[in-house]
A and B are shown apart, each in its own frame.
Chain A
């Protein structure tokens, strides 16, 4: 049902941001002698629920963060940590296919060591 009297083409009250299907954690990428070191801000995940995929020059990290601290009877007062499925794809300047990928989980960061040498 279109309102014939509506005024604005674009609704200023809808602060819509286009996004991907899933949320994206933040990541730093270091260039090292042996290759690349990727540090992803991903606290509170379980390594079972993590997938790392290398394809051409792309490194994809997917997984799911679950809230394991919630107990029956809790009431959320504030929530700023995003849970559920996430996805992060990092593009490298050259292909990394065939590189050795090792993952480490330290101090709440997911460290991925990509050795091309």
Chain B
């Protein structure tokens, strides 16, 4: 360390201060003097002369530098800033430091647990002449630089005043500056000192600060300070302007708020708004907090609620959002009902509600058993197909009762807009959720039994195809996140037990049909109808018409007659209506005190119901040649029909009447061709085909008929016509034929057989491949019937015509050889048990 006291004040210090015109050896170190100093590398910070700054020193090398300085009599230290390009955290190399820094006196030092705190006072600017060492601390030979020179005193003074002016302005915008800083800044009269102070206090960045430190003239230094301060002030003013604009804006919001509050107070006074939308939003929030919702739904609901709170109640969106939120809150997102899993009880309930329908009950019990063993099973999707009035809807209700689930029913008849199922987007005015989601809300749980009634009556038009929407709803793989357009949130439909009903399978699109498990409910037999009437219809109608069980009795025979002569249906709806009519008439009698109790017999029916309304096609006692009894399937169940054929002498070809469809007409042509080609086998004169035309008619003429299943009947009628042998009048038949003479199976066996049985027929011809369907026929009916299975036309004619054909064509017989060696027998096979 140099002995400063020995330094000759050779060079005149710059004439910055008028009090220093004489060289005074202690006031300044001579410019250009060189001495060795420990150096402290400063990060992100510049030190200026004429400032006192506290510093934290932590790095071992910096601590060593400070300690070296403290070990000298004068405690002098060089402070040099690290160039900003350096970004890593290692100790800076010599080359990383600027050349120009500040000489400081360490005024105070205190030790902290792992660092030291020093207070330094900057005295002169120094320049590194030569680096001496890097470790254990930086050490360099430094040269003292002169104080910045004043070139143009007026200009410096002007700049200084400007700077002070700007500082005034800046301080006005900065309310949090400590008082001592204000005083220090404003009372500082030395331009250089003021500039250095600004340099250290403004956040300019190392580069800019270094520039100020390296300025050799006061003019340059003040210019830099001025420019930097001007820029800062501009930023500050801009910021303050933005802040004040925001303030204005906020004031406007505040004003609106106050006005709104006043309006609310007025409304309250007028009694117009007692709850207030704030209370409403609050109420919704409370409900939202209590509600059990999936996370995704809760997030969405909260977002909507926030929007609601911001809107005035007069805004059009307000009610839309409120309705939406209420809807979300009402939906049973996570609420399920507990299933009753007592199979015995379920069986009892099903039996109590419905007579018969064993298949269906069995299926439901199977499902219950599966749920019992594996509770997370997906609910099945059932499809009940059957004629009206057979109890499809009430069966759904009863399933719900047996399972202990809620029941909801929605009719799809006539629905032709996809949006009815899936809802409308909320952007539309009057948007509503779809019917599915609405039904769930009504049910109040997410696992109801949901009945989709009349699924075969779905329409579709340019607005979309609702059946396509049902594809998603009824797909167990997809419906766990069904998105209603209105909700726009996924809802889990997979727990719902869907039951669809339909009268016909045809109109249901195949992909939709494929998703459901079909259960057919055929019509009831007369015996079943009687049983149903006895158990359910009569008691119900009795009660509904204000009678008690003792006052009205309807004899079984009367019920059977109502079913046969006053109704024509597979179900029991008309039967019930007629029972109801009887009950009303009886009620009238009892009310007029003409009787105390009434027993209705079959003979009384004319009195109660008028003359019979239907004369069912009863089995004709005798059939002329050319007429055969067939069976048909209709939506109302089955029916018996007659096929009549007659020869037209001199006529040509085949005339077909009776509203027959194309398929049926083709059957007729096939039958005729078959008989023509095998005329010899059946003992038919081939000339007859050429000489006579044939007219085929199927009454009733007004009812359209179609389908291939009349093939067997037409063949029998034609064979009878050509051979002159009559068809047995006690026999009805059905089956499709081929040109090679085979008999193919047909559908609706149960309905057809029941209809034939109702008509009094006791002998039935069925295709052999329909043998399995016979199991569906109620036992009591089956026991009264003789059922003949046929597999080719030869067998048909053997069984149908009164005079047996001697030798059936051999090539036809072969087709049946696979069937367990059962030979076509002239003797009809009767099925019993």
Q: A residues within 8 Å of B by Cβ?
A: 1-3, 6, 8-11, 14-23, 48-49, 51, 53, 55, 58, 60, 62-64, 66-68, 70, 74-80, 82-87, 89
CB distance from A68 to the nearest CB of B (A): 7
Per the bound structure, the CA–CA distance linking A55 and B17 in Å amounts to 14
Q: Provided the pairs A62-B24, A70-B71 are in contact, do residues A22 and B123 lie with their beta carbons within 8 angstroms?
A: yes
Partner-binding segment picked from B25-33, B459-467, B645-653: B25-33
Q: Provided the pairs A19-B50, A70-B71 are in contact, do residues A80 and B174 lie with their beta carbons within 8 angstroms?
A: no
Cβ 8 A contact of A64, one of B5, B111, B235 = B5
Chain A residue at minimum C-beta to C-beta distance from B123: A21
Residue B618 at the A interface, CB < 8 A?
Answer: no
Contact between chains at A83 and B50 (CB < 8 Å): no
Contacts of B208 in A (CB 8 A): 2
Cβ 8 A contact of A67, one of B73, B111, B123, B206 = B73
Chain B residue at minimum C-beta to C-beta distance from A79: B109
CB distance from A28 to the nearest CB of B (A): 22
Contacts of A17 in B (CB 8 A): 51-53, 180, 184
Per the bound structure, the CA–CA distance linking A6 and B228 in Å amounts to 14
Cβ 8 A contact of A22, one of B27, B181, B188, B193 = B27
Cβ 8 A contact of B50, one of A20, A51, A58 = A20
Contacts of B53 in A (CB 8 A): 14-17
Residue B356 at the A interface, CB < 8 A?
Answer: no
Q: Provided the pairs A21-B27, A66-B74, A83-B74 are in contact, do residues A10 and B177 lie with their beta carbons within 8 angstroms?
A: yes
A-B contact pairs, 13 of them (CB 8 A): A1-B207, A16-B53, A19-B50, A21-B49, A49-B5, A51-B26, A58-B19, A60-B19, A66-B74, A83-B75, A85-B105, A87-B26, A87-B27
Contact between chains at B202 and A9 (CB < 8 Å): yes
Contact between chains at A21 and B205 (CB < 8 Å): no
Contacts of A15 in B (CB 8 A): 53-54
Per the bound structure, the CA–CA distance linking A87 and B188 in Å amounts to 18
Q: B residues within 8 Å of A by Cβ?
A: 4-5, 19, 24-28, 45, 49-54, 67, 70-76, 84, 105-111, 121, 123-124, 170, 174, 177, 180-181, 184-185, 188, 193-194, 196-197, 200-208, 232, 235-236
Per the bound structure, the CA–CA distance linking A79 and B201 in Å amounts to 26
Contact between chains at B28 and A21 (CB < 8 Å): yes
Per the bound structure, the CA–CA distance linking A68 and B196 in Å amounts to 33
Cβ 8 A contact of A16, one of B28, B52, B205 = B52
Per the bound structure, the CA–CA distance linking A114 and B181 in Å amounts to 35
- 6 closest A-B pairs (Cβ-Cβ)? A66-B73, A79-B109, A62-B26, A84-B74, A18-B197, A17-B52
Per the bound structure, the CA–CA distance linking A75 and B63 in Å amounts to 12
CB distance from B7 to the nearest CB of A (A): 11
Contact between chains at B19 and A9 (CB < 8 Å): no
Chain A residue at minimum C-beta to C-beta distance from B75: A83
Per the bound structure, the CA–CA distance linking A51 and B73 in Å amounts to 19
Contact between chains at A2 and B204 (CB < 8 Å): yes
Contact between chains at B67 and A84 (CB < 8 Å): no
Contacts of B184 in A (CB 8 A): 17-18
Contact between chains at B203 and A8 (CB < 8 Å): yes
Contacts of A8 in B (CB 8 A): 203
Q: Provided the pairs A21-B50, A84-B75 are in contact, do residues A9 and B170 lie with their beta carbons within 8 angstroms?
A: yes
Contacts of B105 in A (CB 8 A): 23, 82-85
Contacts of B201 in A (CB 8 A): 10-11, 14, 16
Contact between chains at A84 and B111 (CB < 8 Å): no
Contact between chains at B74 and A18 (CB < 8 Å): no
CB distance from B225 to the nearest CB of A (A): 13
Given contacts A16-B201, A22-B27, A79-B110, 19 further A-B pairs with CB under 8 A are: A1-B84, A9-B232, A10-B181, A15-B54, A16-B51, A17-B53, A18-B52, A18-B197, A19-B52, A21-B28, A22-B123, A67-B73, A76-B71, A78-B110, A80-B108, A82-B105, A85-B4, A85-B105, A85-B123
Per the bound structure, the CA–CA distance linking A8 and B202 in Å amounts to 9
CB distance from B657 to the nearest CB of A (A): 95
Per the bound structure, the CA–CA distance linking A75 and B111 in Å amounts to 11
Q: Provided the pairs A9-B170, A76-B67, A79-B108 are in contact, do residues A18 and B73 lie with their beta carbons within 8 angstroms?
A: no
Contact between chains at B193 and A64 (CB < 8 Å): no
Contacts of B52 in A (CB 8 A): 16-19
Contacts of A10 in B (CB 8 A): 174, 177, 181, 201-203
Interface centre among A16, A60, A89 (most CB of B within 10 A): A16
CB distance from B312 to the nearest CB of A (A): 37
Per the bound structure, the CA–CA distance linking A48 and B251 in Å amounts to 71
Per the bound structure, the CA–CA distance linking A84 and B4 in Å amounts to 9
Cβ 8 A contact of B24, one of A53, A82, A83 = A53
Chain B residue at minimum C-beta to C-beta distance from A2: B205
Per the bound structure, the CA–CA distance linking A9 and B180 in Å amounts to 17
Contact between chains at B107 and A23 (CB < 8 Å): yes
CB distance from B417 to the nearest CB of A (A): 56
Contacts of A75 in B (CB 8 A): 67
CB distance from B106 to the nearest CB of A (A): 7
Contact between chains at B200 and A51 (CB < 8 Å): no
Per the bound structure, the CA–CA distance linking A2 and B173 in Å amounts to 22
Contact between chains at A23 and B121 (CB < 8 Å): yes
CB distance from B163 to the nearest CB of A (A): 13
Q: Provided the pairs A1-B207, A55-B19 are in contact, do residues A19 and B51 lie with their beta carbons within 8 angstroms?
A: yes
Contacts of A78 in B (CB 8 A): 109-111
Per the bound structure, the CA–CA distance linking A48 and B25 in Å amounts to 12
Contacts of B19 in A (CB 8 A): 55, 58, 60, 89
Q: Provided the pairs A74-B71, A79-B70 are in contact, do residues A18 and B205 lie with their beta carbons within 8 angstroms?
A: no
Chain B residue at minimum C-beta to C-beta distance from A50: B26
Chain B residue at minimum C-beta to C-beta distance from A69: B73
Contact between chains at B27 and A62 (CB < 8 Å): yes
Cβ 8 A contact of B235, one of A1, A9, A74 = A9
CB distance from B52 to the nearest CB of A (A): 4
Chain A residue at minimum C-beta to C-beta distance from B207: A1
Per the bound structure, the CA–CA distance linking A80 and B109 in Å amounts to 7
Per the bound structure, the CA–CA distance linking A9 and B811 in Å amounts to 111
Chain B residue at minimum C-beta to C-beta distance from A10: B201
Chain B residue at minimum C-beta to C-beta distance from A80: B108
Contacts of A70 in B (CB 8 A): 70-73
Contacts of A83 in B (CB 8 A): 73-75, 105
Chain A residue at minimum C-beta to C-beta distance from B194: A18
Per the bound structure, the CA–CA distance linking A6 and B177 in Å amounts to 17
Per the bound structure, the CA–CA distance linking A85 and B76 in Å amounts to 10
Contact between chains at A63 and B67 (CB < 8 Å): no
Contacts of B4 in A (CB 8 A): 64, 85
Contact between chains at A14 and B200 (CB < 8 Å): yes
Q: Provided the pairs A75-B67, A77-B111, A79-B106 are in contact, do residues A18 and B26 lie with their beta carbons within 8 angstroms?
A: no
Chain A residue at minimum C-beta to C-beta distance from B239: A9
Per the bound structure, the CA–CA distance linking A83 and B84 in Å amounts to 33
Contacts of A64 in B (CB 8 A): 4-5, 26, 74
Per the bound structure, the CA–CA distance linking A89 and B577 in Å amounts to 126
Contacts of A21 in B (CB 8 A): 27-28, 49-50, 123-124
Contact between chains at B50 and A84 (CB < 8 Å): no
Per the bound structure, the CA–CA distance linking A21 and B110 in Å amounts to 23
Per the bound structure, the CA–CA distance linking A21 and B121 in Å amounts to 8
Per the bound structure, the CA–CA distance linking A18 and B194 in Å amounts to 8
Chain B residue at minimum C-beta to C-beta distance from A58: B19
Contacts of B24 in A (CB 8 A): 51, 53, 62
Chain A residue at minimum C-beta to C-beta distance from B170: A9
Contacts of B73 in A (CB 8 A): 66-68, 70, 83
Contacts of A66 in B (CB 8 A): 73-74
CB distance from A48 to the nearest CB of B (A): 8
Contacts of A18 in B (CB 8 A): 50-52, 184-185, 188, 193-194, 196-197
